[in-house]
Amino acid sequence: MTEPDTPREMTPEELLHRVEAGEYIQVLDVRAPQRLAGGGHIDVIPADRFFNMAGSQVRALDDINQIGMAKDQPVAVVCGHGSSSKPIAALLHEQGFAAASLAGGMAGWMMTAYPRALPTQTGLDHLIQLDRVGKGALAYLLVSDGQALVIDPARNIEVYIARARKLGAEIFAVADTHVHADYLSGAPALAAQLGVPYHLHPADNAHVYEGTPGKLDISPIEDGAELTVGRATLEVMHTPGHTEGSVTFLLGDEAAFTGDFIFINSLGRPDLGGKVDAWAANLWKSVCRARESLPASIMIYPAHYASDAERAADRTIGATFDAVRAESEPFAMEREQDFIAWVKGRTSSFPEAYRKIKVANVGLLEVTEQEAEELEVGKNECAA
C-alpha cells in the first residue's frame, strides 16, 4: 500500500480530465528544454501554469520556490516516460507541494484519447469523437443497434474496443479515410485482432514514393460505396488531394467525416507524397465537388485540428460546411490557378518521420513501440 506521504502518480486521463474541467493545475515538465522543441508539451490553460526546467536543474536549486509555481495548487510532473518525474515529484512533495508524477510521461500523454459525445445523427445511437489531444488527431466511433464502426483509429487499439463495449456494442468494421503520414494507424491491427474488415481506398494501399504495392489486407472501398452500421448508412465520397485514396464518409446530409480533406480552418496539404502538382490539381477537383454536392448544414468532422481555436464551445471539433466555407479562403476561389498558387504558397518542409510512417502504414515497414513513439513526436503538420 502506498504510504500517505508518498507522492502519487496521476494518469494522463486524469490530467486531461482536470485540464478539460478547467481546474487549477500546474505542469512541471522536467525534460531538457530542447526536448520540448521537437516533442511538444502539455498545453495548460492559462499557459502560465506550464513550467519547464530540467530535472537536474530542479535538484540543484537552493530554493525550489524559484521555479515560480504556486505552492497551494496541484502540480503534475512530466518527463519522457514517467520515470525521472517520480523523484522530482517526491522532492516537491517534501517541500510541501501537492505534486504527482504523470504516469507514462509524454509518451502516455501522446496516446491518450479523450472521448467526447457528438450530437447523435439519424440512425445512430452514439457518435463519439476520440480526441488525441497531444497529437491533434481525431478518431470516431459510430454505434447503432449494437454495431460499432471505428474511423481513423490510432495504434492504442484497446481504447476503441473498451469504449465500444461500454456503449454496449461490438466493433464490426474499421476504416481509414486515408493512409496517414503523422501517426501510425491502428486500423490494420484492430481489424486483425477482431477479425473484421478493414476499409480503405485501394489507391492508398501502396508505397507512395516508389509505387510498390502495399501489404495491407483491406476490404476496398470506392466512390459511391456504402457502409452500413446498424440503422445508419455511410456513403463513400472519393476526395483525393491529400492522398490519392483519400475519402470522405457521408452520413446522409447530416455529417461528413472528411479525414484530412477538409479541416475546420484549412485543407489537407497535397505535398506529403512528393507529388504536389498532381495532387494539388486533384485537391482542387475535390474542393469543387464538395462545393457542388455538400449541403451547407452538413457537419464537418475532420481527422485533425491545429489548435484550440478550432474547438466549438463544447470542446468538440466540428462545424457546419457553410461555417467552414465562410472562414476558408480556398473555398472562395473560382480559378484553379489561384487555388494551386495558394496551395503551393503554403507548402513547407515536413518531418522526415512522415515518410517512414507512410511506408509503415501500408505494411511495408515494421516498427517497434519505441520507434513508434519517436516517429509520432509532436503535433500533426497535415494542413496546408
Residue 274 and residue 199: Cα distance in Å, rounded?
25
Residue 172 and residue 75: Cα distance in Å, rounded?
42
Residue 276 and residue 344: Cα distance in Å, rounded?
8
Residue 381 one-letter amino acid: E
pLDDT score of 81 more than 80: yes
**Residue ranges per domain, the chain?**
9-109, 113-375
pLDDT of residue 350: 86
Q: Please, which residues have CB within 8 angstroms of residue 156's CB and are 6 or more apart in sequence?
A: 111, 113, 186
Nearest to 283 by CA among 260, 310, 299, 264: 260
Over the stretch 267-283, which tens digit does the pLDDT of each residue have?
Answer: 999 988 888 889 999 99
Over the stretch 174-221, which tens digit does the pLDDT of each residue have?
Answer: 999 999 999 999 999 999 999 999 999 999 999 988 889 999 999 999
pLDDT score of 324 more than 70: yes
Q: Grid coordinates in use for 244? A: 490519392
Backbone angles phi, psi at 381, to 5 degrees: -130, 50
- In terms of phi and psi (left: phi > 0; alpha: psi -120 to 50; beta: otherwise), the region of 19 is alpha
pLDDT score of 41 more than 90: no
Q: Report the pLDDT averaged over residues 355-361.
A: 95
Q: Grid coordinates in use for 111? A: 496516446
Cis status, amide bond into 46, omega within 30 of 0: yes
Residue 191 and residue 161: Cα distance in Å, rounded?
11
DSSP 3-state of 250: strand
Instruction: Let me know if domain 9-109 sits in CATH 3.30.200.20.
Output: no
pLDDT of residue 39: 65
Residue in the structure block whose three cell numbers are 475532420? 302
Which of 52-56, 67-71, 340-344 has the weakest average pLDDT? 340-344
Centroid of chain to Cα 331:
24
pLDDT of residue 20: 83
Q: Report the pLDDT averaged over residues 159-182.
A: 97
Question: Residue 202, exposed/middle/buried by CB under 10 A (0-12, 13-18, 19+)?
Answer: middle
pLDDT of residue 211: 87
Residue 365 and residue 276: Cα distance in Å, rounded?
24
Which of 43-57, 126-140, 225-239 has the weakest average pLDDT? 43-57
Best-predicted range by mean pLDDT (255-259, 313-317, 354-358, 371-375): 255-259
pLDDT score of 115 more than 90: yes
pLDDT of residue 1: 37
pLDDT of residue 4: 43
pLDDT of residue 336: 95
Residue 9 and residue 182: Cα distance in Å, rounded?
29
pLDDT score of 37 more than 80: no
DSSP states of 59-112 = HH-S-GGGG---TTS-EEEE-SSSSTHHHHHHHHHHTT--EEEETTHHHHHHH-
Residue 7 and residue 86: Cα distance in Å, rounded?
8
Percentages helix, strand, coil for the chain (3-state, rounded to 5) are 30, 25, 45
Which of 42-51, 232-241, 242-251, 354-363 has the weakest average pLDDT? 42-51
Residue 287 and residue 289: Cα distance in Å, rounded?
5
pLDDT of residue 3: 45
Structurally, at CATH architecture level, domain 113-375 sits in: 4-Layer Sandwich (3.60)
Residue 258 and residue 248: Cα distance in Å, rounded?
4
Count of all residues that appear for the chain in the document = 384
End-to-end CA distance of the chain: 52
- In terms of phi and psi (left: phi > 0; alpha: psi -120 to 50; beta: otherwise), the region of 59 is alpha
User: How many Å is the Cα radius of gyration of the chain?
Assistant: 22
CA distances from 240 to 23, 67, 73, 246, 280 (A): 42, 49, 49, 5, 9
pLDDT of residue 358: 95
Residue 145 one-letter amino acid: D
pLDDT of residue 347: 81
pLDDT of residue 327: 87
Q: Please, which residues have CB within 8 angstroms of residue 96's CB and are 6 or more apart in sequence?
A: 71
